[in-house]
Structure 1
């Protein structure tokens, strides 16, 4: 069941059934930001983005369990974006982690990149507006 509702001037939607009814005031999204300069193959990219997505979700689940559950119920919206260097990635990570659960991913180095290479990070799930604030200038992978 979904219906419109308001609280304190904010418009939200009522979701759920019975005792699980709640008002939702934000759409949640996860962002995965990956380095394009490492020359990783498609399979490696897929594995690294999977590590980032799951790790960020687990962090959110511990820190914001309601957001984690709601993100699942909203369909697990996510976006995968690219940056051109480790410096760009770390700069964005440092900014985003101040208000969004973020996890940095370092590769073990068994296949395509050097051990300990920072390949990507996962951010959220979090308020889509916050994710977009930081990621609006990035290109899709």
Structure 2
């Protein structure tokens, strides 16, 4: 079981902003899972991997792939209080889910 969070590299987010957006994505996708998946992921150490994605269109393409595979996923849009304009899509969490299924969506992306 794992979860992968794709974060946009083209936005120039600071480290704190990036960390917050990744956390939002992880929690939002987790909340979209069933109790059996939650228990399995939590029991397995809540594996998370953060990867790079180079723009908004790539982020939404991954979200569509995750949807087709039936994986929980969440696109996060910034509130616009600090570094980014309101509504800017920043991150996407895919999973938690079976590692091989998550990898079928995100496996070709580089680590952040």
Which of the five TM-score ranges fits, normalised by the shorter chain? over 0.9
Deviations along 1:63-112, one digit per CA (max 9) or x if unpaired, are: x2101111101000111011111011111111112220111100001101
2: distance between equivalents of 1:137 and 1:125?
18
User: What are the ranges of 5 or more consecutive residues in structure 2 without an aligned counterpart?
Assistant: none
Normalised TM-score (structure 1): 0.77
Greater helix share, 1 or 2?
A: 2
Following TM superposition, the consecutive aligned residue runs of length 4 or more in structure 1 with deviations greater than 2 angstroms are none
2: distance between equivalents of 1:88 and 1:65?
30
Structure number with greater Rg is 1
| Structure 2 partner of 1:103 | 74
Greater strand share, 1 or 2?
A: 1
SS at match of 1:111: coil
Superposition pairs of residues 108-123 of structure 1, within 5 angstroms: 108-123=79-94
1:32 aligns with 2:2: no
Superposition pairs of residues 48-127 of structure 1, within 5 angstroms: 48-60=21-33, 64-98=34-68, 99-127=70-98
Give the structure, 1 or 2, with the largest relative contact order (CA under 8 Å, sep 6 or more): 2
Residues matched between the structures, number: 111
User: What are the ranges of 5 or more consecutive residues in structure 1 without an aligned counterpart?
Assistant: 1-27
